[in-house]
Chain A
Amino acid sequence: MAKKKGKKPAKTAPSATTEKPADKTAPSIDSAPPAAVRRDPAKRGLAIAKPRAAEPPPEPPAFWFGFDVAWAKLLAFRLVFFGLLALDALLQLRHAPRYGAGGFNVAQLPLLDGLGPTRVLYAIAQLVCAYLFVLAALGVATRIAVPLVAAIYAWLYFGSQLDGYQHHYLVALLLGIACFVPWQRPAEAGHATTVRTWAVRLVLVQLGILYLWAAISKLDAAWLDGSTLSVQIQGSVRELIDDTVGIKLVARLTILAELVLAVAIWVRPAWFVALPLGVAFHVGILMSNLEIGLFAYLMLAMYLLVIPDRAYVWLAERRPLEVLRRLFAPSATRDLLVGLVTLSGIAIATTLVALMCRLPFSLGVALGLGLVPLALVAHRRLRGRPGGAAIGAAHLVALALWVLVDRTTSVSVDYYRFWGGSSRRLGDAEAAERAYRKMVALAPDEGSGHFQLGRLLLKRGEEREGLEELRRAQELETARARAYVAEAQYLAGKGRTAEALAKAEEATYAEPTDQTALDLVDQLSGKKRPPAGAGSGASDDDQDQR
């Protein structure tokens, strides 16, 4: 964490690299005081060569402890990195029903098998993570928010292999390192003031290691001849590659790019290579439509760290940002407003969630989180620190993001769709019905919920309501046979063959290529026997797969 005292390591230290601080003219704040290096290692029982014991204590390596970053850059990175993660946390919420489904879990670490998240815990944890990420992005209570969210994220990742993507692992590691980054700018520091932080250097080294191993894993005949890449890249990018350099060359250039980035990303003098190469590399991955979720965006965000400090300083000095900064700067004159802003922030945010947010458990979690700004402001006051208005504002922004994501994406509807789907397949009809009822309430114009709910209701004998739901699905899914087929099968099962045949024919009008509908018409009109397995009329478009 940031500490303002401490000695700057000598640039002439034997272990120092040739790297220069970001801005020699700017004042620097040291986040890693090397006081401990003055201790004698021999006293701690470490075996060292004799002559060394008499030497002066070693200076801390400037490579790590002399790494400077301008505050303007660190704050921009903080905003984008944590902002992206907040967004990702909310988008992940739709996958909550897969956690603990059927009481089955395999953790990343065997010891955690029984401690993995369940549907409810996962959803609540992601809401809390999104909230804490926004606080961190806005620089509020980062010393509490970042370690807390790092711990929750680590539990979610290591608690189940369902989050098995490499980017989840990377984020878990980066959040661990982020606990040691001094995210909050001291009041006296300007845009160009640099902060000394070994943790940001470690982030870059971690990325270098990632690229190195990614390149090594591709040193394989099936990659080098382009066959692996050709399976992965499709669409317009593939056509472009085939028409120009060819897939084999691109496969080899990928390894080369990763090897260059493995070194260039953590060596400051090579950033002019890393920046364009890395950005082009990850934009290329994005354009290739590879199924990697947020990973490419996250990797692009990491390249904010290799943009020269002066670009951020220039940007931070523009008028709109300057005005924003003054607005949120701690000030004694606005102390009386802090309480009002905090209470207003909590009240507005909670009302907003109560009225507009459909994310599962959102109101309960929002009410609980309402205590966070109160506690933070109280803590601040007790320590005699000015300001705090930003805490209430950050609370409002965090909860407003929930509403924004909910209202602009299908996360809430997907959550109930996936919950209903997995419950139905795993034989828990009661939970499935509950989920589909909720889904129908949230998305009354989506045929899928009505279809699944109708089938479940018919299965437990609720004919009137079940048929109503199926007919609603037929109205909404005019080009799909499944709701007609389901009704036809039900009617046939009840011996109402003529009605069933009429419905089956309607199914073929809606979707002339649907084999189940065609077979059903044949069967009901006595033309042929149903094929094995036909007649389910089921559709698995509620499967939770990435």
Chain B
Amino acid sequence: MVTLLRWLYATPHVGALLSTWRGRLILAFVVLQLLLPLAYFARKDPHDERFAWRMFSPMRMARCVPSATLDDAPLNLAGEFHEAWLELASRGRFQVIEAMGARLCEKYPSKAVRISIDCTYLDREQRTYGGYNICDVPEL
């Protein structure tokens, strides 16, 4: 790695870029923008396509149905969260659903909160995430 960096620095273009603050800023920006979308492939949440420029990708077409129970009794999520958050949950955004779970666990401390999403995809089998007490395991 160090050798690669040395070699890169020795190339006229990169070396010249690195010699000014503007050049370093440009290089950092371009490298970050080229590499940041790769983070999508390392995420545990396949629905989270933020910062990856995956406009209109097949995954964007996934539709999920979030549901929750409180001590096994159905919980109306629309009465707990703004519909814009439910819209994000229906796209399968794990972070949002986990935060919803955390909020419900905080609001109903002595109850079991089961939260799950049933997702359908264009190119893969239907899948359900969660379904266990999210207060015990706070991740999908």
Contact = CB atoms under 8 A, between A and B. Distances in A.
A101 B82 contact: yes
Contacts of B82: 98, 101-102, 104, 422, 425-426, 544
B95 interface: yes
A228 B122 contact: yes
Interface stretch (B17-25, B109-117, B130-138): B17-25
A39 B122 CA distance: 56
Interface stretch (A58-66, A378-386, A404-412, A437-445): A58-66
Contact of B13 (A37, A61, A169, A206): A61
Contacts of A198: 22, 26
Contacts of B51: 169
A106 B19 contact: no
Interface in A397-428: 422, 425-427
A544 B86 CA distance: 11
Given A15-B12, A104-B99, A214 B58 contact: no
- Which has the most chain A C-beta neighbours within 10 Å: B13, B17, B22, B99? B22
B53 A202 contact: no
Interface of B: 6, 9-10, 12-13, 15-23, 26, 29-30, 33-34, 37, 49-58, 61, 78-85, 87-88, 93, 95-96, 99-100, 103, 122-123
Given A39-B19, A169-B51, A217-B55, A102 B81 contact: yes
Interface stretch (A46-54, A77-85, A328-336, A467-475): A46-54
Given A106-B95, A290-B56, A426 B79 contact: yes
Interface stretch (A219-227, A238-246, A511-519): A219-227
A426 B22 CA distance: 49
Given A49-B10, A60-B20, 12 more contacts: A13-B12, A36-B20, A37-B19, A46-B9, A48-B6, A64-B22, A95-B84, A206-B29, A218-B56, A228-B56, A292-B55, A426-B80
Nearest to A51: B10
Interface in A163-221: 164, 166, 169, 173, 177, 180, 198, 202, 205-206, 209-210, 212-214, 216-218, 220-221
Contacts of B56: 214, 218, 228-229, 232, 290
Contacts of A355: none
Contacts of A41: 15, 18-19
B128 to A, nearest CB: 20
A14 interface: yes
Contacts of A292: 55
Contacts of A206: 29, 33
Contacts of A25: none
Given A37-B19, A37-B20, A104-B81, A222 B12 contact: no
A261 to B, nearest CB: 12
Contacts of A59: 16
A161 interface: yes
A57 interface: yes
A536 interface: no
